[in-house]
Amino acid sequence: MKPSFTQFRQRLVAREPLLGTFVKLPTTQAIEIFGVVGFDFVVIDQEHAPLDRAQVDLMAFAGRASNVAPIVRVGDAGDAAVLSALDCGASGIMFPHVTSVEKAKSIAASCRYIGGKRGFASMSRAGSWGARGIVDHMKAQDAEVACIAMIEDIDAVSLTAEIAAVDGIDAIFIGRGDLTASFGDDPHASAKVAEAARTIAEATRAAGKTLMILATSTADAETFRGHGASGVLVSSDHNFLKTAAAAAYRDYGVKTDNARM
């Protein structure tokens, strides 16, 4: 039987193998399907998708109801945005573009009550609508909420060890997409990103923190598992839809010289 979504952070920190995917469509059904299939977590992507607080609220509910941990990748790392996602019941926050130790300390604090700066609320989904006492609620949330920092800027690569070592940072996610984009049209970009990814992986492992990646293939996933990655994401809801639709079009579509695929 799959562990409860409330154990996500515990499993993440213990570096258990975890599989997730990105969710960008403003629906609950895709998340329910991922839960039925057996995914451990989904990343609700506010950074790159049109998802407001009301939609995140419903999507976090769907994750919890389907026993798949809802992680929110915030577009804005401000305290208010983090607080909103956590009160909606997110099991963790993924922070893009963490480029300094100071920012790492700030985001870690925004995820924690005790010793942190998370605004208190217990009449929320995260607080079981007031069912727990104040201290019990704070302790439970501090134990269950994961804080994930993304390293995806060239200047941040050399700081990975220091960022990963910050108390409260539970995992480091290698953002190879933005790293690749930062090299522009450099013909050696692929090799440079691969080297940067290895540097990030080594620094994360040395700091004793969990490494996460978005795998581009099963071989890519195995390569990074060899580098210590235990949290692996694959694809996204809209890419799964596109892939299945394209396969159906190839298999069932009328074959013409002007076929689109």
DSSP 8-state code for residue 115: T
Which residues does 8 contact at the CB level (< 8 Å), separation at least 6? 18, 40, 41, 69, 71, 91, 92, 144, 146
39-73 per-residue burial string, b: 16 or more CB within 10 A, e: under 16: bbbbbbbbbebebeeebbbbbbbbbbebbbbbbbb
Contact between 39 and 21 under an 8 Å Cβ cutoff? The reply is: yes
DSSP 8-state code for residue 212: E
Catalytic-residue membership of 48 = yes
Cα–Cα distance for residue pair 2/4, rounded to 1 Å: 7
What is the separation of C-alpha 222 from the centre of its chain, rounded to a whole number of angstroms? 19
Q: Which of 48, 137, 188, 227 is catalytic?
A: 48
Residue 68 backbone phi and psi in degrees, to 5: -130, 120
Contact between 111 and 168 under an 8 Å Cβ cutoff? The reply is: yes
By annotation, the residues acting in catalysis are 48
